[in-house]
């Protein structure tokens, strides 16, 4: 990383430690990573937004990195994670912030804007479009999609199962999921996100040739591996284990639109973006403040890492227009 100096510190949220990394001065932009990632996923955006005149803050989501990892599964409910983001915003001062999220960070960002529009002046989601709480229980829909097999989120539900798979070789598992979900993977290969009964997710992973994954250097991969070899991935898996609890707790916001200015960025080789095409088609109703929906050609799931220049440009344009 080059550019503005990075500052590491902690914010307290309901007794939990939230590790934040920040750069620059100006209006606040809070960035929320997904699975299996960390604040480091925003390494290209922190200096770019700082240089554009913003106070850019990337967090370690609860359960990741240097943030607290509570033991109770229910501690990772969506409402709790929204509370962590609000604590970071409140710690910075009285002004509202822009929140930006990728992968699981996108639903956290979307729901922060939905539940606390008084503290959010704009919201951007990467890879996962806003899809309001509906009438179908999420796991029911996923099981219908997978048929006799497991949809990966269903596979993650039983504590210890996915952890055992990852712990066998953290580096290989991360390398596999990062490459398999990237724009460089073979789209004709069987999906790694549909798992045969009795099998493991890694059974269908693809792996890069040496030097093929240019967007993720050996040093970048080593950073993520070091974090997860230290912390494990239970905190990340526990986010998935709240999917039914979230659906229940968010019932008062059934089909509710997000009214603050919004932005969506996805990739045309990204599974969640493609699966979310119906949600994207409903943006005129669900995101009435939408300022742009951009699908980047050739881009896979790791949007801000695979296409940092495009994402930085779109974010800065969105921020400047607020």
Instruction: Just list the catalytic residues.
Output: 103, 301
For residue 91, give both structure tokens. Answer: 């710690």
Question: Mapping DSSP to helix (H, G, I), strand (E, B) and coil, where does residue 220 land?
Answer: helix
Cα dihedral 123, 314, 125, 1, rounded to 10, equals -100
Cβ contact 254:134 at 8 Å:
yes
As a whole number of angstroms, the distance between CA 148 and CA 273 comes to 24
Strands (E), 42-145: 55-59, 97-102, 120-126
As a whole number of angstroms, the distance between CA 29 and CA 21 comes to 12
- Give the list of residues 6+ apart from residue 214 with CB closer than 8 angstroms, or none: none
As a whole number of angstroms, the distance between CA 190 and CA 202 comes to 12
As a whole number of angstroms, the distance between CA 43 and CA 304 comes to 9
């Amino acid at each position: 990383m080059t550019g503005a100096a990075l500052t590491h510190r902690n914010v307290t949220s309901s007794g939990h430690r939230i590790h934040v990394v920040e750069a620059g001065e100006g209006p606040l932009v809070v960035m929320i990573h997904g699975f299996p990632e960390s604040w480091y996923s925003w390494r290209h955006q922190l200096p770019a937004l700082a240089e554009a005149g913003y106070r850019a803050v990337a967090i370690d989501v609860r359960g990741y990195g240097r943030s607290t990892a509570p033991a109770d599964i229910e501690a990772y409910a969506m409402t709790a994670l929204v509370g962590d983001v609000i604590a970071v915003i409140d710690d910075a001062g009285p002004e509202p912030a822009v929140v930006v999220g990728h992968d699981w960070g996108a639903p956290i960002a979307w729901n922060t804007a939905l539940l606390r529009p008084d503290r959010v002046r704009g919201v951007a989601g990467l890879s996962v479009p806003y899809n309001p709480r509906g009438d179908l229980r999420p796991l029911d829909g996923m099981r219908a999609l997978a048929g006799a097999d497991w949809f990966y989120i269903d596979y993650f539900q039983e504590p210890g199962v996915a952890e055992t798979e990852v712990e066998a070789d953290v580096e290989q598992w991360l390398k596999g999921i990062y490459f398999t979900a990237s724009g460089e993977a073979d789209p004709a290969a069987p999906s790694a996100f549909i798992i045969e009964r009795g099998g493991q997710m890694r059974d269908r992973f693809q792996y890069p040739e040496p030097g093929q994954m240019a967007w993720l250097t050996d040093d970048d991969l080593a950073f993520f591996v070091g974090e997860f070899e230290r912390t494990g991935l239970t905190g990340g898996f526990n986010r998935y284990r709240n999917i039914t609890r979230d659906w229940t707790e968010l019932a008062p916001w059934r089909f509710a639109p997000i009214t603050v200015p919004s932005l969506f960025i996805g990739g045309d080789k990204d599974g969640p973006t493609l699966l979310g095409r119906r949600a994207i088609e409903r943006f005129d109703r669900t995101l009435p403040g939408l300022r742009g929906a951009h699908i980047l050609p050739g881009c896979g799931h790791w949007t801000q890492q695979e296409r940092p220049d495009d994402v930085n440009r779109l974010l800065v344009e969105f921020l400047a227009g607020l």
